[in-house]
Structure 1
């Protein structure tokens, strides 16, 4: 699977002791592989082998460029590329995506010591270290403006199997093949070939005969070039015609990439639409957000919301998605800064012996990195979790995005995109993303999606004493960013199109729920002093969002009907509505999951290498296919 457990950090020795026992030359050496990360002038070697070996930065004269790397190590290659990218002449709005794989990540402290060797990169190195994710297996997306770094922590081959997208240049920089043969295997190079764009290049410091033969067998042409320093030779080469293969299920295809600078209409200005606006801007697109009333007017308008993980026992795509989404939103909130987020911690109470057993399993499997989850007498405590101000969060994500006031009445496919109709305007875009919760079902193109509504009421008590940290026990009680305490939330089915209304009965129900878990908190709450708010959540049957391209349902009905009878054959790739996408069904965890889902969709639309395993788990066609298969099993 693509993630969901803690992994080991690098074990490093520094330098070699001299006769006095002091380091004679401070170079990091991996004790796992008994090899150094760099020696001598590491930056000059990177510039010679990896940049010049791939004809960089000359090839940066494009709107979109993708680099893949095996062996992130100290991050030196990424920093050198970042520096070269900043200095290069390139088109306006250009974006670079850097994908790297690392089995044993260095800590920020280890990197800081290594980075002392390159003072010219100090400012970039500090930014990298500040954004480093914790050692959690899976894909971590880091945003540095016009450069995006996707780090995969874990076994490189497992990670490569999860990826789709085109790489323009490869850096092969694992430890030497004699010390780390697994990173130089034919299987690795076959996956590299699959993920390469036509004409993709590679460069590496080694000229090992086994590496040359494996590269050639995978379809790469190679040549020996002058090496750096004491290394007389290095390898560089290219693959002209990569194989057109994929590990995705045919009925769960990736989104077709959009051209750089594409204009995208995002329908809805809640947390889904705001997250999309932020991610699309960062990927070099031009989003416009349509909203019928005002930003954060639905469930995203509550005065507070919890930022905490939803964790699954076992190694599953759903578990990976939720764990990585939590780590991603924490990093995003730290970048946004301001008064958006209060990291007061959240205590998830174990309400039963079954809950306690589940929490023990989560601790045992390392569902979150060390320091992100603590065992308490009452349950699990998440020290980095806390309470967010949803309207402020949405506002921060929407900054610098065009907002269009008006309800989108209908969509019409055009020759090269979609026309968006409101009661007052008609505008054509290259693409449309439907992100307006349950209202997505108003559009004919999304009407078959299995979305349902759930009404929820929260109660805010501005004058009540706030708990020191948030408590989750099914319902929750937490300090409110605007002062006082907030509790919630009720769950009640609601029909499509109905409006959620707050009631005194729901307030009493919320107080009663708090009283069962936290009687001392409930004793401070007066129902007559509540400021209630009711809204509608949009849910899916498996509690995962719908994120990706909208299928051409007519094609699906005919092409995959054989699944009803369990017929085995080579099914064609699913056809989707060109330029039409969806992000909805976020349920009660949208504040955590929307930013990560939006980042993954933005990567697909940019053609950047990204985690296809999770995107298949979120694919809008998944329920249609499940229903066909279940019909065949009956």
Structure 2
């Protein structure tokens, strides 16, 4: 969890004496830990210690395999595992998940220089470098076809403590225990045990006594094996019976993962449904998307949308979610390409002294990485932000996922999954994700969620001279680039007219009054620009956003509300006891309540949900903050406090 914190890149020196013979004499050495990242033929050492030590690639004959690593460093172990995975015989549709923690990421230049030692890996290494996130604390999710990489940047123990998911094999590759003892502590190994699947293996280059004792204390069996090169011995072993422990509150359970290749129905083809289609397919599932009207027909269908972060002061799950969502979506927009994004930069105006003080705190805490926000006289500038074509983004994320143009009337739980019932068909799926905004309340299974509606209108002026950058100050003004045959001119917005919680079927209609309100808002912040706008030149568009009381999305498994009402009723009295784990509707999930930030938050929320459904390591603190049960539990606790 991190709403931000300045993060240092690794301090590297090159070619330290004794790092090996040519051509490997330019090996990188960490100045802070006084230890090398690799020496001699680093790839051969990785294959001997970490791959062979864990029985790989022979164990890749599974639908899903998960590797966890301490110390990402140059990414060498990941590249070796990726290359071995590509050559291994495995089931059709199999997926490899690789999870690694790193406190001091290498700079892009140092990473590229290190990779020069292994030209055979260059095609994979180049793909990896292109997708690596900037140095910012937290969990970063990257997909490479049938291989996924989850990087946690930050302190190893903090990251592992936040993680949920199962690991089949551990690569223990931090700097040596003498140089970096914190990486080899008993607390670290307890977390590794908690995250291990039954019979999970491990391998490491060190045979230090403290490491052996910490492994034993955590429940791992170990044995010494022949080492590599000048290292005579190494350790390898496994954990037979991992502890059945969780860091989650009992009511925030996530349920069992779905099988690889599971058929999942996604209801809704706005930015939430499209993001799910993209993330679920990357995670090895087979999504089909139901949409009664057309993709991006709701709030995702505006002629242009703003891509900028919502940043929170302090170290909170909400702050971490919003910052990581922004970094993820900017990366994703580059990945999908297609001329749907214009990174014109966004200026967040400091409207009043209170907002200016808040922005100074954001700068001080490093709410975004260096180079991702800058102080301007008017406020904060986000150079990577800009304007996206929402329908184009939705189309790119949907890709070739089957699109079923039918309205889902009802969901029926079956012995093996869910039956999706429309007026035209009754189709069986292994799982369902409800992602249709406020219309989620049409389904009885989601009706307990406190979703509300907010009607908003934007005004598009196709012939207006736009500002050079986007401007946000509550309302916003932005250039509306020419996205194919769409766009041009400027767009302003958006009005906010809250609807009642539970307003199923709420509709929004554009009005002349709303256009006047949008122009008046521009006049207060950008008077010169506003003077060029004529109300009768506008092409308005209105839609309903789906909102939640805490302004965070709802993302995760849907509870069995009857069980929750009975099992947790004592929370009303403040009674402390061992509450049972929450029971869920197996295979039923939701992603909604995105408010006005869906273009930025939906892709990361979808990636989190897809990772959880596949059993891959994921951030439990953010998942709990987004969990659909949070309002139900909050209301019970508040009733007891009165």
- Shorter-normalised TM range: over 0.9
Aligned to 2:570: 562
Measure, in 2, the Cα distance between the counterparts of 1:581 and 1:538: 17
RMSD: 1.2
Does the 8 A contact of 2:2 with 2:319 survive in 1? no
| Within-5 A mapping of 1:25-424 | 25-424=25-424
Does the 8 A contact of 2:437 with 2:546 survive in 1? yes
How many Å apart are 1:16 and its aligned residue?
Answer: 2.8
Measure, in 1, the Cα distance between the counterparts of 2:57 and 2:17: 39
SS at match of 1:190: helix
Aligned to 1:447: 447
Aligned to 1:587: 595
Measure, in 1, the Cα distance between the counterparts of 2:589 and 2:602: 14
Measure, in 2, the Cα distance between the counterparts of 1:130 and 1:184: 31
1:499 pairs with 2:507: yes
TM-score, normalised to structure 1's length? 0.98
1:596 pairs with 2:601: no
Aligned to 2:491: 486
SS at match of 1:266: strand
Measure, in 2, the Cα distance between the counterparts of 1:275 and 1:4: 25
Range 5-14 or range 430-439, more displaced: 5-14
Aligned to 1:469: 469
Measure, in 2, the Cα distance between the counterparts of 1:514 and 1:2: 34
Measure, in 1, the Cα distance between the counterparts of 2:361 and 2:498: 32
Measure, in 1, the Cα distance between the counterparts of 2:79 and 2:334: 21
SS at match of 2:400: coil
Does the 8 A contact of 2:24 with 2:39 survive in 1? no
SS at match of 1:251: helix
Gaps of 5+ in 1: none
Instruction: Return the match for 2:521 from 513, 520, 533.
Output: 513
Measure, in 1, the Cα distance between the counterparts of 2:202 and 2:376: 50
Deviations 1:374-419 (A, max 9, x none): 0000000000000000000000000110000011011111111111
Measure, in 2, the Cα distance between the counterparts of 1:632 and 1:249: 18
How many Å apart are 1:17 and its aligned residue?
Answer: 6.8
Measure, in 2, the Cα distance between the counterparts of 1:337 and 1:450: 36
SS at match of 1:631: helix
SS at match of 1:73: coil
Aligned to 1:607: 615
SS at match of 1:419: strand
How many Å apart are 1:51 and its aligned residue?
Answer: 0.3
How many Å apart are 1:255 and its aligned residue?
Answer: 3.5
Range 374-383 or range 122-131, more displaced: 122-131
Measure, in 2, the Cα distance between the counterparts of 1:356 and 1:515: 21
Range 7-16 or range 390-399, more displaced: 7-16
Aligned to 2:582: 574
SS at match of 2:251: coil
Measure, in 2, the Cα distance between the counterparts of 1:157 and 1:426: 48
How many Å apart are 1:493 and its aligned residue?
Answer: 2.0
Measure, in 1, the Cα distance between the counterparts of 2:364 and 2:529: 32
Q: Could you list the runs of 4 or more consecutive aligned residues of structure 1 that deviate by over 6 angstroms after TM superposition?
A: none
Measure, in 2, the Cα distance between the counterparts of 1:429 and 1:114: 46
Does the 8 A contact of 2:24 with 2:41 survive in 1? no
How many Å apart are 1:123 and its aligned residue?
Answer: 1.0
1:458 pairs with 2:463: no
Does the 8 A contact of 1:4 with 1:324 survive in 2? no
Does the 8 A contact of 1:456 with 1:492 survive in 2? yes
Aligned to 2:484: none
How many Å apart are 1:3 and its aligned residue?
Answer: 5.2
Measure, in 1, the Cα distance between the counterparts of 2:24 and 2:269: 58
SS at match of 2:261: coil
Does the 8 A contact of 2:16 with 2:29 survive in 1? no
TM-score, normalised to structure 2's length? 0.97
Measure, in 1, the Cα distance between the counterparts of 2:213 and 2:92: 40
Does the 8 A contact of 2:3 with 2:313 survive in 1? no
Deviations 1:487-526 (A, max 9, x none): 0000002343231000011001000001100001101111
The alignment covers a number of residue pairs equal to 631
Does the 8 A contact of 1:3 with 1:136 survive in 2? no
Deviations 1:1-51 (A, max 9, x none): 355323111001111379xxx999211111110101011110000000000
How many Å apart are 1:180 and its aligned residue?
Answer: 0.2
Does the 8 A contact of 2:3 with 2:312 survive in 1? no
Measure, in 1, the Cα distance between the counterparts of 2:102 and 2:39: 19
SS at match of 1:412: strand
Deviations 1:284-331 (A, max 9, x none): 100100001000000000001111000000000000000000000011
Measure, in 2, the Cα distance between the counterparts of 1:46 and 1:598: 33
Does the 8 A contact of 1:133 with 1:327 survive in 2? yes
SS at match of 1:136: coil
SS at match of 2:252: coil
Measure, in 2, the Cα distance between the counterparts of 1:44 and 1:524: 66
Does the 8 A contact of 2:495 with 2:518 survive in 1? yes
Shift in CA distance, 180/354, structure 1 to aligned 2, threshold 3 Å: same
Deviations 1:136-185 (A, max 9, x none): 00000011111000000000000001011110000000000000000000
Measure, in 1, the Cα distance between the counterparts of 2:531 and 2:395: 35
Measure, in 1, the Cα distance between the counterparts of 2:488 and 2:292: 29
Shift in CA distance, 360/2, structure 1 to aligned 2, threshold 3 Å: closer
Measure, in 2, the Cα distance between the counterparts of 1:269 and 1:464: 31
Aligned to 1:522: 530
